[in-house]
A and B are shown apart, each in its own frame.
Chain A
Amino acid sequence: EVQLVQSGAEVKKPGESLKISCKGSDYHLSTYWIAWVRQMPGRGLEWMGIIYPGDSDTRYSPSFQGQVTISVDKSTTTAYLRWASLRASDTAMYYCARSVGPEYHFDSWGRGTLVTV
Chain B
Amino acid sequence: IVVTQSPATLSVSPGERATLSCRASEIVSGNLAWYQQKPGQAPRLLIYGTSTRAAGTPARFTGSVSGTEYTLTITSLQSEDFAVYHCQQYNRGVTFGGGTKVE
A-side residues, CB < 8 A to B, are 35, 37, 43-47, 50, 61, 95, 97, 103-112
Which A residue's beta carbon lies closest to that of B93? A103
In the bound complex, CA of A20 to CA of B75 (Å): 39
Contact of A105 among B48, B95, B99 (CB under 8 A): B48
Asked whether, in the complex, the Cβ of A104 is within 8 Å of the Cβ of B90, the reply is yes
Asked whether, in the complex, the Cβ of A44 is within 8 Å of the Cβ of B90, the reply is no
In the bound complex, CA of A105 to CA of B43 (Å): 12
Which B residue's beta carbon lies closest to that of A108? B45
Which 6 pairs, one residue from A and one from B, show the smallest C-beta to C-beta distance? A105-B33, A109-B42, A45-B96, A105-B48, A47-B94, A44-B98
Which B residue's beta carbon lies closest to that of A48? B94
In the bound complex, CA of A37 to CA of B99 (Å): 14
Chain B residues, Cβ within 8 Å of A37: 96
Chain B residues, Cβ within 8 Å of A47: 93-96
